[in-house]
């Protein structure tokens, strides 16, 4: 049995690193409260929402999940203020880098449909303040190849855990603020290469007689250290990197492909209802360890901050699309006669919804860094 360090103990250990609680109040100690004012946009006013996250447009019958907001215990967290954000970022570029959950966060910030980029890198330009917002797809954040390598055949993705994503690193000097996230793709099939040697794999390990040195959780931790170390030692990067911690899913009764469900969740969990998820906890722990190791290697003038949303969002089992993933009027949304739930998404977040809090936190971290370490009044 693997003993998973509790969130409370882990947060004690994190006090001595650059977690974004070092100035002012701890942004991640607080509670969710119901705000009757509701969100600042609707699913119909934001034209770039991915259809699978357009929960109201897909027929979700309840709506209160849009109204719960996060309140730190010792300070205020204001709603996202687009004007304030653009003024702080004047003449700068912010990049969301990661997988589809990073895209989910980017779509929560950008409401204009004009994309000046391509499929791998989307760009939105705000002429009034010369601000560029960019989304870069990098599912693992490290180098990946598909060619045959040792006993791993062609076609299976090889992750070189000790080398950052080459295509991504070419772009880094162009960015002033980076919001970085990853983790969930380590559940997908891949081969792990470290020091030019195959050391493990996920959903792939053909020779059971060979001991596997690195599993997917370890691989994630190594990848975090690799990409962050590359950023804090990059000779031409002096920006602010915000690492969004592992986003919890809420599949109950199974995984995403084995009957897991979040159907019928209509409000956040109460404090005494939160049950620690072992996989989420250990992924979070590995991510923080990778972060801490990278901090010790810092050589350039860039800054590294952790946006620690994992426990905060553990309460929000109500914020996922669930079975409301498409506008198909004939989709199945109820448990079948065999007792099995319909296919559903308990990983991504509805928009509007809890994910909007992430950009409120991003704005506060940027404000603290650019203006000084004061709280909002």
Tens of pLDDT along 72-113? Answer: 999 999 999 999 999 999 999 999 999 999 999 999 998 765
Share of the chain above pLDDT 70, in %: 90
The predicted pLDDT at position 43 comes to: 92
- Give the tens place of pLDDT for each residue, 159-196: 999 999 999 999 999 999 999 999 999 999 999 999 99
CA-based end-to-end distance of the chain:
47
Is 348 among the catalytic positions? yes
pLDDT above 90 (res 370): yes
Which tokens hold the place of 181? 């996230």
* pLDDT recorded at residue 12: 47
Task: Name the pairing type of β-strands 131-137 and 93-98.
Answer: parallel
Determine the pLDDT at residue 5.
38
Residue 100 burial (CB count, 10 A): 15
Lowest mean pLDDT of 226-230, 341-345, 361-365, 373-377, name the range.
373-377
pLDDT at 100: 95
CB 351 within 8 A of CB 52: no
Burial of 330 (0-12, 13-18, 19+ CB in 10 A): exposed
pLDDT digits (tens, 9 = 90+) for 137-157: 999 999 999 999 999 999 999
Assessment of whether the complete model's pTM goes beyond 0.85: yes
pLDDT tens profile 16-75: 444 444 456 899 999 999 999 999 999 988 888 999 999 999 999 999 999 999 999 999
Structural tokens at position 144:
């990946």
* Confidence band for 208, pLDDT divided at 50, 70 and 90: confident
Catalytic one of 100, 162, 176, 326: 100
Spell out the domain ranges in the chain.
28-371
Angle value at C-alpha 96, between 95 and 100, nearest 5 degrees: 155
What angle separates helix 100-109 from helix 356-371, to the nearest 10 degrees? 70
- Residue 8: pLDDT over 50: no
> Cα(333)–Cα(325) distance, rounded to whole angstroms?
10
- Strands (E) located in the chain: 30-34, 68-72, 93-98, 121-126, 131-137, 142-145, 158-164, 177-180, 190-194, 197-202, 240-244, 303-307
Which one of 122, 160, 348, 356 is the catalytic residue?
348
Task: Name the nearest CA neighbour of 32 among 65, 70, 66.
Answer: 70
State what percent of residues in the chain have pLDDT above 90.
81
249, 318, 345, 356: which one is catalytic?
345
Model pLDDT, residue 112 = 67
Asked about 100 being catalytic, the answer comes back as yes
What is the structure's pLDDT at 376? Answer: 40
Q: 15 pLDDT exceeds 50?
A: no
Q: Classify strands 131-137 and 158-164 as parallel, antiparallel or unpaired.
A: unpaired
CA distance 249 to 186: 14
Rounded Cα–Cα distance for residues 236 and 317 (Å): 41
Least Cα distance to 351 among 50, 99, 38, 68 occurs for 50
């Amino acid at each position: 049995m693997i003993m998973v360090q509790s969130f409370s103990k882990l947060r004690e250990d994190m006090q001595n690193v650059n977690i974004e609680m070092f100035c002012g109040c701890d942004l991640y100690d607080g509670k969710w409260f119901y705000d009757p004012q509701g969100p600042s946009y609707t699913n119909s006013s934001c034209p770039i929402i991915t259809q699978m996250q357009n929960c109201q447009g897909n027929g979700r019958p309840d709506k209160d999940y849009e109204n719960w907001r996060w309140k730190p215990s010792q300070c205020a967290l204001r709603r996202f203020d687009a004007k304030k954000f653009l003024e702080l970022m004047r003449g700068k570029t912010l990049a969301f880098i990661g997988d589809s959950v990073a895209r989910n966060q980017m779509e929560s910030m950008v409401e204009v449909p004009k994309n000046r980029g391509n499929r791998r890198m989307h760009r939105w330009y705000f002429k009034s303040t010369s601000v560029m917002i960019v989304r870069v797809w990098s599912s693992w954040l490290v180098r990946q190849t598909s060619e045959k390598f040792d006993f791993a055949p062609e076609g299976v993705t090889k992750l070189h855990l000790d080398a950052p994503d080459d295509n991504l690193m070419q772009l880094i000097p162009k960015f002033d603020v980076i919001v970085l996230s990853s983790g969930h793709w380590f559940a997908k099939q891949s081969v792990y290469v470290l020091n030019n040697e195959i050391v493990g794999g996920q959903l792939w390990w053909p020779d059971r007689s060979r001991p596997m040195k690195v599993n997917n959780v370890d691989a994630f931790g190594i990848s975090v250290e690799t990409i962050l170390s590359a950023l804090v030692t990059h000779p031409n990067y002096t920006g602010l990197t915000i690492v969004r911690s592992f986003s919890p899913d809420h599949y109950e009764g199974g995984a995403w492909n084995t009957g897991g469900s979040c159907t019928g969740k209509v409000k956040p969990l109460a404090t005494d209802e939160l049950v620690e998820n072992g996989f989420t906890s250990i992924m979070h722990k590995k991510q923080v360890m990778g972060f801490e190791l990278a901090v010790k290697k810092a050589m350039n003038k860039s800054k590294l901050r952790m946006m620690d949303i994992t426990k905060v969002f553990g309460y929000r089992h109500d914020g996922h699309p669930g079975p409301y993933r498409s506008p198909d009027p004939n989709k199945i949304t109820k448990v079948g006669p065999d007792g099995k739930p319909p296919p559903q998404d308990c990983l991504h977040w509805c928009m509007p919804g809890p994910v909007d809090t992430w950009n409120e936190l991003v704005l506060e971290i940027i404000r603290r860094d650019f203006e000084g370490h004061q709280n909002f009044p």
